[in-house]
């Protein structure tokens, strides 16, 4: 039996999933909030394997969410995935977490009623990481090249209405969308099913060969979305800082 283990630690939600190579979900453990990923990830991994009736030697592929998200969470998730793949001899795969959300939004809209899909991940500091996929670019369960998930937008919370105003009729998802739901314009629809990125989402995105998926230790690296806090605050203050939405005009 060859299994796929997936994990996502990009947000405060820590999740692990075990699936088959056919994309089937065999077990999932999701901790919506705390304790810290360092305390949860490995115990939850062992728990998910036990739930699936599997052992570490059954792992053939390790899939990890690459972010963007919290720096510490991403480092823990990617480092754990790298170590697990090295020890087990499994192949290592990375899935941008925004891509996982876009795949879920697309698959949750089978009739294609949305004009676009917008994934929002909480970036703290009243900012969100965002990726947009025009419905005309989406094919099947995956997401097309219009969604640049390797270079996400960093959008100030107050600029979310402006971003979504460019995509009337969009379907929105992610923990950032839920956090700032009061800022969503009437023309946008908040998905009740798509919250923070999870390991099961990463598993489905990998199986669906979604855009942005990478393989190998040299390519499976965190997508931070912006510089670390220490670098940001040690740098010389920059006057007139604007969000990515304003800069994209």
Q: Which of these CATH numbers, 3.30.70.1140, 3.30.420.40, 3.10.129.10, 1.20.1440.130, describes 3-96+197-227?
A: 3.30.420.40
Q: Which CATH class name applies to 98-190?
A: alpha beta
| Lowest-pLDDT choice from 3-7, 51-55, 225-229 | 225-229
d(CA 94, CA 7): 10
Amino acid 147: pLDDT: 58
Render pLDDT for 168-207 as a digit per residue (tens, 0 to 9): 999 999 999 999 999 999 999 999 999 999 999 999 999 9
| Lowest-pLDDT choice from 34-38, 108-112, 144-148, 193-197 | 144-148
Q: Which residues are within 8 A (CB) of 215 and not within 5 positions of it... i.e. 6 or more apart?
A: 91, 92, 93, 94
Question: Do 28 and 8 contact (CB within 8 A), yes or no?
Answer: no
* pTM of structure: 0.87
Question: Domain residues of the chain, as ranges?
Answer: 3-96+197-227, 98-190
Amino acid 217: pLDDT: 93
* Helix, strand, coil fractions of the chain, as percent rounded to 5: 35, 25, 40
Amino acid 244: pLDDT: 53
């Amino acid at each position: 039996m060859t299994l796929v283990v997936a994990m996502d630690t990009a947000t405060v939600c820590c999740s692990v999933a075990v699936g088959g190579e056919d994309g089937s979900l065999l077990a999932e453990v999701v901790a919506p909030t705390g304790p810290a990923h360092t305390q949860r990830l490995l115990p939850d991994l062992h728990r998910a394997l036990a739930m699936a009736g599997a052992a570490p030697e059954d792992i053939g592929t390790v899939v990890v969410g690459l972010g963007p998200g919290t720096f510490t969470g991403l480092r823990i998730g990617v480092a754990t995935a790298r170590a697990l793949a090295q020890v087990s001899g499994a192949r290592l795969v990375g899935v941008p977490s925004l891509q996982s959300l876009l795949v879920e939004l697309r698959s949750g809209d089978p009739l294609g009623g949305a004009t676009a899909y917008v994934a929002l991940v909480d970036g703290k500091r009243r900012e969100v990481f965002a990726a947009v996929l025009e419905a005309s670019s989406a094919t099947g369960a995956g997401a097309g090249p219009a969604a640049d998930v390797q270079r996400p937008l960093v959008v100030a919370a107050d600029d979310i209405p402006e971003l979504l105003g460019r995509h009337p009729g969009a379907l929105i998802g992610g923990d950032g969308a839920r956090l700032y739901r009061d800022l969503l314009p009437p023309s946008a629809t908040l998905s009740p099913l798509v919250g923070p990125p999870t390991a099961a989402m990463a598993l489905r995105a990998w199986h669906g060969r979604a855009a942005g998926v990478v393989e190998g230790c040299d390519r499976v690296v965190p997508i931070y979305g912006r510089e670390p806090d220490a670098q940001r605050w040690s740098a010389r203050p920059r006057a007139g800082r604007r969000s990515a939405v304003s800069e994209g005009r």
